[in-house]
Amino acid sequence: MDIDMKSRELIGILRGVEPQEATAIAEALIDAGVTRIEVPLNSPGPLESIARMVQAFEGQAVFGAGTVLTVEEVEAVARTGAGMIVSPNCDPAVIRATKASNMLSYPGVLTPTECFSALASGADGLKIFPASVIGTGGVAAMRAVLPPTVPVYVVGGADADN
């Protein structure tokens, strides 16, 4: 996949999106430079939404699922052609299954121990969740000890003020 270098370093979360809305929203996000887009599995018809976006915009963005908790869910998402898995927790089995399916893995972490466990299990990046618990100071402290090339995304409490 050849993603435009103007891509914004964030993951768009389409929480609650309906399958019939997914491609139009994905198109607007891609046009705005958002080239990593997830549909949480607790949304209506998430696998259909992901499959529609993959089919419509393959090669223009990385699509995947969020709120992925089990290996079976990883496998179902992989069948859509998705390219990433985002989880609210750090489950080494989910990370390994994601990597075995040739997808990017972004597990949820909150402590340095979880961060390093996720990386040791093969994670491509880290989702600090819920970020509001540790705030910007906590995120900065963890970034100071993490490898500088590891992508870190904050979710849960991130807004324009922080």
Active site residues: 38, 127
Rounded to the nearest 5 degrees, what angle is found at the Cα of 47, between the Cα atoms of 50 and 85?
Answer: 70
**Backbone phi and psi for residue 138, each to the nearest 5 degrees, phi listed first:** -65, -40
Rounded-to-integer distance, Cα 41 and Cα 36, Å: 16
Residues 26 and 37: beta-carbon distance below 8 Å? yes
- Which among 84, 86, 124 is positioned nearest to 107, based on CA atoms? 86
